[in-house]
Structure 1
Amino acid sequence: MRLPGATSLPFNIFTDSVPTNRLPQVNQKKDARLMVRIPCWIFVMMLLASGTSKALVLGQELHPPLPPDHLPPVLDLSHIPLGLSSHRNIPAENPLTAEKVALGRQLFFDPILSANRQVSCASCHLPEFHFSSPNPLAIGIQGQLGKRHAPTLVNRTYGTSFFWDGRAKTLEDQALQPIENSLELGFKVEGVLTRLRQDQQYDRLFQAAFPDGTTRTNLARALASFQRVLLSGDSPVDRFLAGDFKALTDSQRQGMWLFDSRAGCWKCHSGPNFTDERFHNTGISWRKSPPDRGLFNATKQETDQGKFKTPSLRNIAETRPYMHDGSISSLWPVIEFYNQGGIGNPYLDPAIKPLQLTTDEIVHLIEFLKALTSNSDYQAAPGATGAQPRTNP
């Protein structure tokens, strides 16, 4: 809850300012997303206390995924990074175990799940990009382009619905859909199960993880279990909110103030994961004809036309490109898009209005978003030959 008059505090409550002629430098290796919505009075006090194929033709590239041995051999099942909630969405019928995570990890990186044995989950969700993709659109079997950008899988244990259009309600439901999508892995789950049952290594892994062995349900549960341990927190913003007032620069603190006040970013990007887990129409799909209907495709409710899931902002500076269609290549034009009030259409979310931010304020916001980047344990090992993002035209 906001204190009366809280938003009328002077914008320049910080002692130092950043150079106004400097635009933010976009990290050329990646770009990503998350945040904690705190009561405004706590925020103000903290600030004061601180002292301040077809794919190739279109310029996309299928990056070879890192093999699973480039990830840490053991992923902690219980550790919760600073800034994240201890309450994770783990269904009672699929409790986390080391055996399930190990199996899910092996499956995630294995092209055995695709019809031609050449594409894996990691082909689109690369660990060196926080399990997202540097390509605007997902690239699937035989170089086919998907219809949407591959979002990060990090912190999806906190999710309440999945895919940009929310058509899956659990990670288990989400896990199998790419296998049978003709533009992604292009196979049938039954075909995958046949392969896995014929593989002695997988037979042992399934038997160790599940009493009933290799089944459709267990395949989904293993993949979901691996995704649930992909956590990212302990960013400079998290450390600042925990009391380390030197964790943020003056510019980042000004950006945080804007985020939580006049810019109104918090209205959708709230909570520990910097997403309300809801769906909004910003008008982005109205740039194409016909527009992508988003949530409407799943609900058939007229009011859901053009709505897409609010993405997390954690690691946002390292998970570009942005939007559901990967159509914006860097953070500056993203903020400009919202600064102009999105794109008008009959279903535009009423919260999307022109912000009238100055150039300096956009700089501060971008600096704040960069401070949501974490040094995560799941990153590629030093020296690994990971993918490098392409420069978007």
Structure 2
Amino acid sequence: MKLTSSSRLLAAGFSVALVACITAPQGDAGYTRSSALPAPPDPQDNPTTPGKAALGKQLFFDKRLSGDGSMSCQGCHYRHLGWTDGLPLSRKVGGGMNTRHTPSVYDTGYYTAWYWDGRAKTLEGQVTAAWKGQIGADPAKAAAVIASVPGYQATFQQVFAAEPNADNIPKALAAFLRTLNSGEAPWDRYTAGEKKAVTADAVAGYELFTGKAGCAACHTPPLFSDSLFYNVGLEAGKTPPDLGRYAVTKEAKDTSAFKTPTLRSVGISGPYFHDGSVVSLDGAVRYMASGGKPDAHKSSLLVDRKLSEKEIGQLVAFLNTLTSEESFVDPTLP
């Protein structure tokens, strides 16, 4: 099983980035990371500790963090759906809808830009933006609500030596998110030597993934994402189109380009793409393998791969072996 030359380069870049990271998180809030993944980077201004991650886990599930007390962060990110929400477009507090699909937060600690268009430069910044926009909070007011809970008062003093505030709440949430690493998947067990962990079709699908189908050029193992941005033709014909990464960089090459999503647990995280426009994994594979829709800014990597029905099925079989199998226990809230 071999990666394409471009995949090797991207994988090497991923490895270098991880080696260059500052420190590794010291706690995982009860989470188990796949043996295929090294420890994610940990920023100097917000080092992960077991206590901080556990506090962030509670906050992630707490509706009191929202503007009206009706929605938690977990309201858009469910473990059994690969930390997505199963909806084409994500919903906000008050019933409003976003214009994009909820991305998975699996392995989010490894990335260097967040959101589909990469507009957030830090995970803490992304958390703060979602806190304000998605769940409609005024951070100062929400922090005061959290501070009124005796159990939180004590824990924040232990972790931050401070009351809950608009700065340390996102830090706790980000610390927890850095522990949401993909657990061991059947494919990880297969590559570790457990040859009966997957089917022959899945193995053939991996050969296609790294060869004829060209998937690994962007969905680079072990994260199965290169964290870069591509136009895959999905905005063609829309009026107006979602400009994607262009709204951040103002560069024509980024017109309607979106970040490569991870394929870990892709079998349970549909619907697919930034607009949630494709319901099934089979449909998503067919779209990409066909070369997508014509678009002036579409990536040159997206071409018709001329796959047979059998090959489509083998690719889907492989992708389904990337589903994480770790256990997860919801927190008890104070």
Q: CA deviation at 1:2?
A: 6.8
Question: Is the CA contact 1:127–1:380 (under 8 Å) kept in the aligned structure 2?
Answer: no
Residue of 252, 277, 288 corresponding to 1:302: 252
Return the match for 1:104 from 39, 47, 56.
Answer: 56
For 1:144, the equivalent position in structure 2 comes to 96
Give the CA deviation at 1:253.
0.9
Match of residue 166, structure 1, among 104, 118, 124: 118
Counterpart of 1:235 in structure 2 is: 185
> May I ask how many residue pairs the two structures share in their alignment?
312
Change (3 A) 1:205 1:379: closer
Distance 2:193 2:182 in 1: 19
In 2, the alpha carbon distance for the partners of 1:379 and 1:192 equals 25
Task: Identify unmatched segments of 5+ residues in structure 1.
Answer: 8-36, 40-73, 382-393
CA-CA distance at 1:178 after TM superposition: 1.3
Name which of 188, 206, 222 aligns with 2:156.
Answer: 206
Query: How far off is 1:38 after superposition?
Result: 6.5
Compute the displacement of 1:244 (Å). Answer: 2.3
Distance 2:272 2:161 in 1: 42
Shift of the alpha carbon at 1:198? Answer: 2.7
The amino acid that maps onto 1:196 is I
Structure 2 Cα separation of the partners of residues 226 and 380 of structure 1: 13
Which structure 2 segments of 5+ residues have no match? 10-27
**Matches of 1:311 and 1:220 in 2, distance apart?**
23
Structure 2-normalised TM-score? 0.88
How is 1:259-338 mapped onto 2 (pairs within 5 angstroms)?
A: 259-338=209-288
- Segment of structure 1 superposing worse, 296-305 or 274-283: 296-305
Cα deviation 1:269-325 (Å, max 9, x = unaligned): 003110001111101122421111111112222221101010010111011110011
Q: Deviations over 1:45-87 (max 9, x none)?
A: xxxxxxxxxxxxxxxxxxxxxxxxxxxxx8347x53221123x
- The aligned amino acid for 2:56 is G
What letter corresponds to residue 129 of structure 2 in structure 1?
Answer: Q
Which residue pairs with 1:221 in the alignment?
171
* Cα shift at 1:380: 6.8
Q: Which residue among 10, 23, 33 is the counterpart of 1:80?
A: 33
Counterparts of 1:300 and 1:223 in 2: how far apart (Å)? 31
**Inter-partner Cα distance in structure 1 for 2:271 and 2:33:** 28
> Alignment partner of 1:216: what SS?
coil
**In the TM superposition, what is the alpha-carbon distance from 1:156 to its structure 2 partner?**
1.1
CA distance in 2, matches of 1:129, 1:107: 20
8 Å CA contact retained: 1:252, 1:365 = yes
Residue 23 of structure 2 is matched in structure 1 by: none
Judging changes above 3 Å, is the alpha-carbon distance between structure 1 residues 271 and 306 closer, same or farther for their aligned structure 2 residues? same
1:375 aligned onto 2:329: no
2:99–2:275 Cα contact (<8 Å) kept? yes
CA contact (8 A) 2:144 2:165 kept: no
Aligned residue among 69, 91, 95 for 1:117: 69
SS at match of 2:266: strand
Change (3 A) 1:362 1:380: farther
Contact 2:100 2:274 survives alignment (8 Å)? yes
Higher relative helix content:
2
- SS where residue 103 of structure 1 aligns? helix
Contact residue 263 and residue 319 of structure 2 kept, 8 A = yes
Aligned CA distance change for structure 1 residues 321 and 380 (closer, same or farther; 3 Å): farther
Q: Percent same amino acid at aligned positions?
A: 35
C-alpha separation in 2, matches of 1:113 and 1:214: 11
- 2:111 aligned with 1:154: no
1:164–1:294 Cα contact (<8 Å) kept: yes
